[in-house]
């Protein structure tokens, strides 16, 4: 590897320092959001920069198309990415997502972006190997733009409204698309009631990610057992209610190879969810005495069913989300939803103004 052969741009260096000092970056270099760059992005999509898209928590500031475009430019987005970023920002503000909780908690919660439909191919999004990793401009820039918008429009700046104790790397960027062509099952947006040819973004509030590896199992039952046991994280006990682990809509990212093993074994996606749900049960005696006592007291006060019933990962099997994505191999991921009250939210992507 050699040094860049172009001319040194002192103005760029100065711009980076000024933008960093202004507090609107995420700590990494950004593309200066000049009037020309922002105007070109809005013009490409035909959006009125003054149009208010949504009022964005936690600061409840109006988010115009110009505001969203400014953050998209800074993140390194091409103009064609703006509609996806806008739809994601709109989804963030839905009351059921509870962005106030997700963005201000001391936990590590962060929104992640899942994309479905024809726009995935149109933008050249990565749906195969390293789908959650670096290397694809659309995936990386769209996720980063949403994160910057949450910071700069929504006001979720670390130490001010964002009070995360640790945070997580996905707070910089986390955007992926479903590998619909390689999946044996209906895509996420179809499950959620959208047309097959619709371009849709879905926002999920996650508390982290856990790699799930099972290279030995070749039946749906055995694979379901591995996924279920991987989802039993005692540190998420009590989230979203007194009987749940996490927030109640856990997300599984499943590579095509594993999804097809389920399918060959006679499992529809609904049946795969049910098999995992039935096995993902954590008895209270697996918890520390202090946590067990605390949960019992909460259940008694809320008259929340059997105080001794085990913890589950969701209220019912249908609440488990499975997205088929990634490349060759049997490495999956479990993305536990935030332990507060949050639900996944989907929005159609408006590609032209």
pLDDT tens sequence for the chain (353 residues) = 998 888 888 999 999 999 999 999 999 999 999 999 999 999 999 999 999 999 999 999 999 999 999 999 999 999 999 999 999 999 999 999 999 999 999 999 999 999 999 999 999 999 999 999 999 999 999 999 999 999 999 999 999 999 999 999 999 999 999 999 999 999 999 999 999 999 999 999 999 999 999 999 999 999 999 999 999 998 888 766 677 888 879 999 999 999 999 999 999 999 999 999 999 999 999 999 999 998 888 888 877 678 889 999 999 999 999 999 999 999 999 999 998 888 999 999 999 88
- What pLDDT was estimated at residue 87? 98
Instruction: Give the per-residue pLDDT at 240.
Output: 65
Tokens standing for residue 335:
């993305």
pTM over 0.75: yes
Burial of 154 (0-12, 13-18, 19+ CB in 10 A): buried
Pair type for strands 251-254 and 321-324: parallel
Query: Which residue, among 106, 27, 90, has the nearest Cα to 56 in the 3D structure?
Result: 90
CA distance 170 to 151: 14
b/e burial code for range 187-221 (CB count within 10 A of at least 16 → b): bbbbbeebeeebbbbbbbbbbbbeebebeebeebe
Query: Given this model, what pLDDT does residue 142 score?
Result: 98
Task: Reply yes or no: is the peptide bond before residue 179 cis, omega within 30 of 0.
Answer: no
Per-residue pLDDT at 302: 79
Cα 337 to chain center, whole Å?
9
How far is the C-alpha of 240 from the C-alpha of 18, rounded, in Å?
42
Query: Tell me, what's the pLDDT at 239?
Result: 67
**Interior angle at CA 246, CA 182 and CA 287, nearest 5:** 125
């Amino acid at each position: 590897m050699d040094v860049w052969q172009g001319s040194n741009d002192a103005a760029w260096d100065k711009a980076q320092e000024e933008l960093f000092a202004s507090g609107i970056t995420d700590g990494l270099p950004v593309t200066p959001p000049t009037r020309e760059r922002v105007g070109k992005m809005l013009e490409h999509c035909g959006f009125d920069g003054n149009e208010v898209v949504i009022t964005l928590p936690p600061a409840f500031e109006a988010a115009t198309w110009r505001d969203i475009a400014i953050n998209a430019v800074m993140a390194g987005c091409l103009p064609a990415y703006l509609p996806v970023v806008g739809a994601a920002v709109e989804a963030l503000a839905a009351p059921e997502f509870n962005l106030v909780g997700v963005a201000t908690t001391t936990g590590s919660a962060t929104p992640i972006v899942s994309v479905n439909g024809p726009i995935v191919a149109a933008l050249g999004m990565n749906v195969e190997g390293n789908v959650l990793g670096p290397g694809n401009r659309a995936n990386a820039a769209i996720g980063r733009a949403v994160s910057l918008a949450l910071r700069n429009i929504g006001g979720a700046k670390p130490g001010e409204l964002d009070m995360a104790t640790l945070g997580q790397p996905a707070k910089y960027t986390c955007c992926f698309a479903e590998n619909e062509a390689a999946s044996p099952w209906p895509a996420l947006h179809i499950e959620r009631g959208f047309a097959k040819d619709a371009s849709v973004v879905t926002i999920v509030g996650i508390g982290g990610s856990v790699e799930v590896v099972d290279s030995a199992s070749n039946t749906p039952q055995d694979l379901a057992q591995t996924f279920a046991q991987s989802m039993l994280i005692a540190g998420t006990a009590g989230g979203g209610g007194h009987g749940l682990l996490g927030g109640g809509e856990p997300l599984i990212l499943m590579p095509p190879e594993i999804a097809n093993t389920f399918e060959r074994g006679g499992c529809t996606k609904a049946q795969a969810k049910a098999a995992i749900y039935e096995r993902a049960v954590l008895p209270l005696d697996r918890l520390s005495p202090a946590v067990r006592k605390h949960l019992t007291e909460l259940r008694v006060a809320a008259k929340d069913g059997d105080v001794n019933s085990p913890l589950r990962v969701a209220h019912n099997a249908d609440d488990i989300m499975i997205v088929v994505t990634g490349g060759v191999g049997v490495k999956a991921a479990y993305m536990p939803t935030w332990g507060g009250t949050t639900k996944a939210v989907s929005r159609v992507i408006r590609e032209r103004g």
